[in-house]
């Protein structure tokens, strides 16, 4: 299962892109491993809208597949600057392209998040999963 090197990961299977960027805005999605385990995603509910704040480790929505439902947790703290309306309309995009078109929201982070995993650590986590 694909675990891109340049991303950081939460233990709840979200990925974070852009931590090294100048803008302080990061992109969040769910990993290929999580999308695959869930099965085909049919419904994504995201509670925060643009301008709302999210807290690292707090539930911010739910991801529903044909067989199951999982909470969506924000891996970072900050202000939501964008929500991917396309995946809310058609959540299966997350299965098809979890690290690209399947991004879920963007956050202007307040601080550097402390406890995210790098690709090696996340790969190890999902092997043990």
Partner 1 sequence: MPAEPSAVKTPLYDVHLGLSAQLVDFAGHLMPLRYASETAEHRAVRTAAGLFDLSHMGEIFVTGPGAAAALDYALVGNLSALAVGRARYTMLCAHDGGVLDDLIVYRLADATFLVVANAANRAVVGAALTERAAGFDAAVEDRSDAYALVALQGPDAAGLLAAVTDAPLDGLRYYAIMAGRVGGVDALIARTGYTGEDGFELFVSAEDAVAVWKTFEDKATPTGLAARDSLRLEAGMPLYGHELTAETSPFEANLGRVVKLDKPGDFVGKAALAAQAATPPGRRLVGLVARGRRAPRQGYAVVTADGTPCGVVTSGAPSPTLGRPIAMAYLDGGVADEGLAVDVRGRPEAVDVVALPFYKRS
* Residue 117 DSSP code: B
* DSSP symbols for 50-102: TT-EE-TTSEEEEEEESS-EEEEE-SS-EEEEEE-HHHHH-THHHHH-TTTTT
Figure out which of the listed residues 19, 42, 82, 119 binds partner 1, where binding follows CB under 8 A: 42
Comparing CB distances to partner 1, the nearer of 33 and 106 is 33
Say whether residue 53 binds partner 1 (CB under 8 A).
Answer: no
Q: How many helices (H) does the chain have, and how many strands (E)?
A: 4, 9
Smallest distance, partner 1 to C-beta of residue 79, A: 26
Figure out which of the listed residues 95, 97, 125, 126 binds partner 1, where binding follows CB under 8 A: 95
Say whether residue 37 binds partner 1 (CB under 8 A).
Answer: yes
Number of residues that bind partner 1 (CB under 8 A): 14
Are 17 and 6 in contact by the 8 Å Cβ rule? The answer is yes
Are 91 and 103 in contact by the 8 Å Cβ rule? The answer is no
- Token pair in block for residue 64: 């529903």
Figure out which of the listed residues 67, 86, 110, 115 binds partner 1, where binding follows CB under 8 A: 67
Among the candidate windows 2-10, 18-26, 36-44, 104-112, which touches partner 1 by CB under 8 A?
A: 36-44
Task: Note the residues at the interface with partner 1 (CB under 8 A).
Answer: 36-37, 39-40, 42-43, 45, 62, 64, 66-67, 69, 95, 129
């Amino acid at each position: 299962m694909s675990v891109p090197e340049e991303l950081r990961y939460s233990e709840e299977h979200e990925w974070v892109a852009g931590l090294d960027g100048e803008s302080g805005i990061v992109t969040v999605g769910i990993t290929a491993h999580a999308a695959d385990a869930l099965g085909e995603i049919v419904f994504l509910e995201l509670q925060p809208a643009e301008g709302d704040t999210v807290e690292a480790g707090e539930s911010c929505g739910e991801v529903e597949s044909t067989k199951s439902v999982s909470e969506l947790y924000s891996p970072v703290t900050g202000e939501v600057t964008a929500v991917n309306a396309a995946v809310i309309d058609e959540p299966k995009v997350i299965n098809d392209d979890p690290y690209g078109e399947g991004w879920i929201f963007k956050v202007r982070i307040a601080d550097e998040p402390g406890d995210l995993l790098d690709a090696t650590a996340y790969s190890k986590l999902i092997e043990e999963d």
